């Protein structure tokens, strides 16, 4: 058996009592022909491995370059160096894999996030990305823990779908048809009967519609999977491939929906605070450093951890779309014409500058906006009695903007059909969806939380490309 090792994180928490251990990892630095800073990815903290002078031959020592992989066996002793309680005095040392120092792209110094994006295949070996991706893992785990504790069923909705009616975004087509000799119908349109599925198919933009089928059988379900949008928005908050968590619950109204979403967000943040404190502290420090170069008024008012604590300890602000428009219209920001898109009045869609004004300048905390005009929302949202609005809710977070989009769903068949007709959504194609309303319809609700935006919020990373391992954005699909 090869893997009889202790992880560095565990080792660093133990007491140095002369015990023998084996560790394996990658060399971060090697100095004075004596001290290896060894990292194995379990924590940003490196283990100091001490090589007694003269105990190892020169050729082996020469191979201890940055990112070379090694196996070390030795005894755990108290460390005299500062910043660490223990170190390992090596009794045996084996280089598992060499790393050519001349060619290794990451030097033991600070690299820009842009540079690291171009080296996304190696960036996990840096402290910043070590912390980000351990946190991403913790948050994903907390998502499952939260819903499992509440008795929700985890449902895997399809990645390839035939429905193109949802309208959440532009879709990527899935096809096996040849490009050059595309089979055509007499009228010149593409003959999808010849395609793999015998019809036109796409990558899913959301698992919601299928999720509703689950909710109206299990009561409460959630999905957690990749979704795809071919939207050409080159922003720090949009990806072409992102992960979404979509809970869908029978017997919930809009308020139940908001309560669940708020509890959920707080739960996963709390989980990260309890279990990944070191990584959060590292990222808080990183953010503070990064913001030093910004003018005072562009810096965050709170540190990362303070911000998360603040979110945990305060109720989200809840208000209607109509109230939000009033606040925006009356704001000095608007009166001084500082919005790129001025507030023209009720009915307009909110731009991210408006959302950010509400959360960052006005309320200074997460905000839940409800009851949007039906014209700017999807067909399945429940129509309010005023005839103008739907029971939608968006959650807006400081620094991010929209993090959750959800609604109570229209459970009344006639109302749903009427809205679909108005919006030119073919009812025949969604016959299976409409069956939920035909057979034992119930009040129900749900929402979608963009996982990467949540990871951004918790890690303080400004660009969404830095919280997913291999970002997919317009004109980039490297790795």
Q: Which residue has the tokens 């491939």?
A: 241
Stretch that binds ligand ATP, among 149-157, 271-279, 380-388, 398-406 (CB under 6 A): 398-406
**Of the residues 45, 61, 113, 168, which one makes contact with ligand ATP according to CB under 6 A:** 168
Q: How far is the CB of 403 from ligand ATP (least distance, A)?
A: 5
Asked whether position 324 contacts ligand ATP by CB under 6 A, the answer is no
Q: Which residues contact 79 (CB under 8 A, 6 or more apart)?
A: 16, 48, 85, 86, 87
- End-to-end CA distance of the chain: give it in Å, rounded: 32
Min separation Cβ 469 and ligand ATP, Å: 14
- ∠ Cα 383 209 458 (to 5°): 90
- Cβ neighbours of residue 128 under 8 Å, at least 6 residues apart? 113, 116, 282, 283, 286
- Burial class of residue 379, CB neighbours in 10 A (0-12, 13-18, 19+): buried
CB of 447 to ligand ATP, least distance (A): 8
Sketch the per residue contact string, 191 through 230, with ligand ATP: x for CB under 6 A, - otherwise.
--------------------------------------x-
36 vs 209 by CB, closer to ligand ATP: 209
Min. distance of Cβ 289 from ligand ATP in angstroms?
Answer: 26
Residue with tokens 């959630």: 222
CB of 44 to ligand ATP, least distance (A): 27
Please give the structure tokens belonging to residue 305.
Answer: 């951890």
φ, ψ of residue 337 to 5 degrees: the values are: 60, 40
Residue with Cβ nearer ligand ATP (52 or 349): 349
- The one-character DSSP state at 349 is P
Q: How far is the CB of 108 from ligand ATP (least distance, A)?
A: 33
Closest separation in Å from C-beta 404 to ligand ATP: 5
Query: Which of 134, 238, 286, 307 is in the footprint of ligand ATP by CB under 6 A?
Result: 238
Beta-ladder partners of 368:
318, 395
Considering only residues 453 to 472 of the shown chain, the ones binding ligand ATP according to CB under 6 A are 453
Vertex 211: Cα angle to 208 and 215 (nearest 5): 135
Does residue number 242 form part of the binding site for ligand ATP (CB under 6 A)? yes
Q: Of the listed pieces 256-264, 276-284, 290-298, 397-405, which binds ligand ATP according to CB under 6 A?
A: 397-405
The helix (run of H) or strand (run of E) holding residue 407 is strand 401-409
Comparing CB distances to ligand ATP, the nearer of 28 and 356 is 356
Nearest to 200 by CA among 174, 172, 167: 174
Closest to 371 (Cα-Cα) out of 354, 387, 385, 390: 390
CB of 452 to ligand ATP, least distance (A): 5
Binding string, residues 427-456; x marks residues near ligand ATP by CB under 6 A:
---------------------x-x-xx---
244 binds ligand ATP (CB under 6 A): yes
Residue ranges that bind ligand ATP, judged by CB under 6 A: 168-169, 229, 231, 238-239, 242, 244, 402-405, 448, 450, 452-453
């Amino acid at each position: 058996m090869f893997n009889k090792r202790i992880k560095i994180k565990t080792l660093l928490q133990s007491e140095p009592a002369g015990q023998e251990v084996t560790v394996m990892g990658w060399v971060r630095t090697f100095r004075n022909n004596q001290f290896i800073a060894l990292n194995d990815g379990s924590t940003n903290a490196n283990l100091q491995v001490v090589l007694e002078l003269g105990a190892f031959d020169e050729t082996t020592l020469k191979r201890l370059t940055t990112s070379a992989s090694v196996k070390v066996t030795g005894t755990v002793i108290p460390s005299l160096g500062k910043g660490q309680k223990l170190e390992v005095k090596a009794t045996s040392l084996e280089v598992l894999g060499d790393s050519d120092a001349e060619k290794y792209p990451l030097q033991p110094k600070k690299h820009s996030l842009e540079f690291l994006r171009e080296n996304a295949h190696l960036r996990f070996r840096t402290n910043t990305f070590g912390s980000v991706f351990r946190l991403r893992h913790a948050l994903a785990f907390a998502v499952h823990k939260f819903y499992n504790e509440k008795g929700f069923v985890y449902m895997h909705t399809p990645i390839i779908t035939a429905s193109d009616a949802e309208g959440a975004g532009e879709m990527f087509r899935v096809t096996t048809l040849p490009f050059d000799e595309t089979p055509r119908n007499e009228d010149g349109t593409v003959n999808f009967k010849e395609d793999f599925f015998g019809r036109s198919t796409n990558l899913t933009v959301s698992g919601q519609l299928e999720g509703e089928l689950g909710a109206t059988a299990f009561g409460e379900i959630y999905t957690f999977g990749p979704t795809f949008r071919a939207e050409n928005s080159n922003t720090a908050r949009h990806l072409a491939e992102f992960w979404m968590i979509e809970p869908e619950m029978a017997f919930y109204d809009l308020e139940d929906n908001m309560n669940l979403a708020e509890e959920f967000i707080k739960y996963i943040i709390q989980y990260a605070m309890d279990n990944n404190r070191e990584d959060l502290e590292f990222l808080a420090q990183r953010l503070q450093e990064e913001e030093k170069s910004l003018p005072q008024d562009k810096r965050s008012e709170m540190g990362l951890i303070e911000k998360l604590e603040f979110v945990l300890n305060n109720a989200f602000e809840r208000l209607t779309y109509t109230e939000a428009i009033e606040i925006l219209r009356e704001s000095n920001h608007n009166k001084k014409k500082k919005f790129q898109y001025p507030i023209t009045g009720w009915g307009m869609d909110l731009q991210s500058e408006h959302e950010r004004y509400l959360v960052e300048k006005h309320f200074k905390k997460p905000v839940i906006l409800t009851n949007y005009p039906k014209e700017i929302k999807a067909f399945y949202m429940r129509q309010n009695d005023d005839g103008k609005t739907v029971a939608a809710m968006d959650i807006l977070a400081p620094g991010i903007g929209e993090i959750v989009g959800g609604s109570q769903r229209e459970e009344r068949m006639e109302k749903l059909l009427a809205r679909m007709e108005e919006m030119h959504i073919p009812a025949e194609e969604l016959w299976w969806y409409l069956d939920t309303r035909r057979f034992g319809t119930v009040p129900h609700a749900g929402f979608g939380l963009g996982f990467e935006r949540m990871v951004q919020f918790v890690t303080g990373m400004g660009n969404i490309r830095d919280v997913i391992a291999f970002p997919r954005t317009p004109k980039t699909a490297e790795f």
